């Protein structure tokens, strides 16, 4: 990557120690430092990274970046031989500055992904598709904010050809800020829903915040958009960037890449056909001038996706669309999808007590993703199903309505039994009851402990082979419910 003098110059920081020591990659946790890393000593809510500088050097860090004000509060820090310490005003700003510089120096194509649902899954799928042809680097888990995104960029190796960056959002201007660091070439919006209503107030503000990704693209950049998403199509009509649409029915826009003939296969997979319209385009090789070229692979291709549900098929189509734009043939992209690996806590399948099957989807939740997962439960579980649903956060004034709608979906889909966890989730129970689910099949608890006990009781009485969905927002820590219900 760079030597310590180059890093100090980029940051306009004060360099102590060896000015020639080489550094590559970074860490903010001294326990995760690798040989030759930059260690950023950041001040957190509970931990001060400056307390672990010596430990980082011992683990192999070659360069430490610390905040001058914090360092002055300590006794003089002795810089070991062959190491460097760079003093800056803000460690976080220093990380972001270096990430911006490294992104430019890499010269890799950047694919950025945002949306109200499916960001992390789509990121994993894009990596699987592009990994068939290119050396790719992506966020770990959902390191998608002002800290995780620059860390991801700085940990990309010199041979990276495509950076795949998930972008999270908690307010207006935040995606624009991340784009200023990442400078994306392709922007993917999975959908524009009601998540973050609590922070942004209106659907219009949520749409504006997501669309900052498309606005940040260069003139030659490509927007990859969901033709089934009304807001994405509406905003695209007033945007000058070349848009590539994917979809199933083409509810709001005819898809350039369409998925058809969806059928379940295996335990949790979906088989479908992906077909590219003849007039669709690609930007050519990622190292080319970006001129549009006509596609030749327009025959339908069979996709074996190791995930269930239409929502995951849509995410797979978005990933294949990115592949089209970067000249990955559909057939090759499908091979990548068939062998893909998901980030943790998303649609994990576990054997459960009483010969049940657990679908643990506990990383996050909103009304759209809840209903999609319930459809998967109905599709796979048949007549013996149990939904254990917790609270959904960040819905603002739409919270009561959102929970109620999920409850209605439980009843409409014919789910056998419902357990809700948390006060807000009582609206799920109310929605299910008022839509016709028997009160005897609805069980509400304020905490996980009561829910676990009831679930164990239900699974002991239901038919063998019951399928169980466990889902809620991350703060509910529903993985503990999964752990308690797993077999063995």
Q: Identify the pLDDT of residue 288.
A: 39
Q: What is the mean pLDDT of residues 358-379?
A: 91
Give the phi and the psi of residue 183 in degrees, each rounded to 5.
45, 65
> Does a structural domain hold residue 432?
yes
> Does a structural domain hold residue 248?
yes
Element (H, E) at 450: helix 448-461
**Domain residues for 83?**
2-91
205 is in an annotated binding site: no
Residues 222 and 83 in one domain: no
399 is in an annotated binding site: no
> Does a structural domain hold residue 361?
yes
Query: Is 221 exposed, middle or buried, given 0-12, 13-18 or 19+ CB atoms closer than 10 A?
Result: buried
**Listed residues 276, 304, 338: the one ending a domain:** 338
pLDDT at 287 over 60: no
> Does a structural domain hold residue 343?
no
pLDDT at 485 over 70: yes
Residues 165 and 312 in one domain: yes
> Does a structural domain hold residue 102?
no
> Does a structural domain hold residue 16?
yes
Q: What is the mean pLDDT of residues 269-278?
A: 92
CB 410 within 8 A of CB 432: yes
How many Å apart are CA 98 and CA 76, to the nearest integer? 26
pLDDT at 85 over 60: yes
155 is in an annotated binding site: no
**Listed residues 338, 358, 389: the one ending a domain:** 338
pLDDT at 170 over 60: yes
Structure tokens at 321: 């669309």
Residues 115 and 201 in one domain: yes
pLDDT at 464 over 80: no
What is the SS3 assignment for 270? strand
Residues 193 and 329 in one domain: yes
pLDDT at 347 over 80: no
CB 26 within 8 A of CB 37: yes
CATH number of the domain to which 22 belongs? 3.40.1390.10
CATH number of the domain to which 148 belongs? 3.40.1190.10
**Listed residues 310, 338, 366: the one ending a domain:** 338
Q: How many domains does the chain have?
A: 3
384 is in an annotated binding site: no
Q: Identify the pLDDT of residue 173.
A: 93
220 is in an annotated binding site: no
Q: What is the mean pLDDT of residues 216-221?
A: 96
Q: Identify the pLDDT of residue 258.
A: 97
pLDDT tens digits along 297-313? 667 999 999 998 899 99
How many Å apart are CA 485 and CA 357, to the nearest integer? 10
pLDDT tens digits along 57-77? 999 999 999 999 999 887 778
Q: Identify the pLDDT of residue 199.
A: 60
> Does a structural domain hold residue 101?
no
pLDDT tens digits along 42-58? 998 889 999 999 999 99
CATH number of the domain to which 465 belongs? 3.90.190.20
> Does a structural domain hold residue 100?
no
Residues 318 and 357 in one domain: no
pLDDT at 345 over 60: no
| pLDDT band at residue 382 using 50, 70 and 90 as cut-offs | confident
Residues 225 and 120 in one domain: yes
Q: What is the mean pLDDT of residues 240-257?
A: 96
The DSSP bridge pattern shows strands 63-67 and 38-40 to be parallel
Residues 319 and 395 in one domain: no
The mean of the pLDDT values for the chain is 91
173 is in an annotated binding site: no
Residues 295 and 431 in one domain: no
Q: Identify the pLDDT of residue 280.
A: 62
115 is in an annotated binding site: yes
| pLDDT band at residue 481 using 50, 70 and 90 as cut-offs | very high
Residues 137 and 83 in one domain: no
Residues 132 and 19 in one domain: no
Q: Identify the pLDDT of residue 277.
A: 86
Residues 403 and 451 in one domain: yes
Pick from 52-66, 266-280, 324-338, 354-368: least confident: 266-280
Residues 64 and 112 in one domain: no
């Amino acid at each position: 990557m760079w030597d310590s003098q180059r890093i100090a110059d980029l940051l306009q920081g004060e360099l102590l120690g060896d000015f020639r020591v080489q550094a590559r990659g970074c860490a903010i946790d001294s326990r995760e430092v690798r040989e030759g890393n930059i260690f950023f000593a950041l001040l957190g809510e509970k931990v001060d990274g400056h307390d672990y500088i010596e430990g980082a050097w011992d683990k192999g860090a070659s360069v430490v970046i610390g905040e001058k004000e914090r360092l002055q509060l300590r006794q003089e820090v002795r810089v070991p031989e062959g190491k460097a310490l760079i003093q800056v005003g803000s460690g976080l700003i220093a990380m972001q500055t270096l990430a911006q510089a490294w992104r430019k120096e890499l010269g890799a194509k950047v694919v950025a992904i945002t949306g109200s649902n499916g960001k992390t899954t789509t990121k994993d799928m894009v990596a699987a598709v592009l990994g068939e042809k290119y050396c790719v680097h992506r966020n770990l888990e959902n390191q998608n904010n002002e800290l995780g995104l620059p860390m991801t960029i700085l940990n990309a190796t010199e041979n990276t050809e495509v950076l795949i960056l998930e972008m999270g959002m908690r307010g207006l201007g935040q995606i624009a800020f991340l784009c200023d660091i990442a400078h994306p070439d392709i922007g993917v919006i999975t959908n524009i829903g009601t998540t973050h209503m609590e922070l942004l107030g209106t659907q219009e503000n949520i749409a504006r915040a997501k669309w900052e990704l498309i606005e940040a693209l260069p003139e030659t950049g490509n927007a990859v958009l969901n033709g089934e998403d009304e807001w994405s199509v509406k905003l695209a009509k007033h945007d000058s960037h070349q848009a590539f649409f994917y979809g199933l029915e083409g509810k709001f826009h005819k898809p350039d890449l369409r998925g058809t003939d969806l059928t379940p296969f295996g335990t949790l997979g979906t088989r479908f056909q992906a077909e590219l319209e003849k007039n669709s385009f690609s930007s050519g090789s990622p190292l080319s001038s970006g001129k549009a070229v006509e596609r030749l692979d327009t025959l339908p291709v069979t996709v074996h996706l190791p995930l269930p549900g239409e929502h995951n098929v849509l995410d797979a189509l978005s990933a294949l669309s990115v592949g089209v734009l970067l000249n990955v043939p559909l057939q090759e992209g499908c091979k990548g999808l068939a062998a893909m690996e998901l980030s943790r806590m998303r649609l994990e399948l576990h054997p459960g007590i009483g010969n049940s099957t657990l679908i643990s989807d506990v990383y996050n939740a909103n009304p759209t993703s809840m209903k999609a997962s319930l459809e998967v439960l109905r599709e796979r579980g048949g007549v013996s199903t149990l939904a254990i649903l917790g609270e959904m956060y960040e819905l603002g004034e739409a919270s009561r309505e959102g929970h109620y709608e999920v409850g209605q979906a439980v009843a409409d889909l014919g789910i056998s039994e419902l357990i809700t966890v948390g006060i807000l989730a009582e609206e799920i129970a109310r929605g299910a009851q008022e839509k016709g689910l028997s009160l005897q099949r609805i069980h509400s608890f304020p905490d996980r402990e009561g829910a676990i006990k009831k679930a164990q009781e239900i699974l002991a009485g239901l038919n063998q082979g019951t399928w169980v969905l466990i889902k809620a927002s991350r703060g509910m820590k529903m993985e503990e419910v999964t752990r308690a219900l797993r077999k063995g």
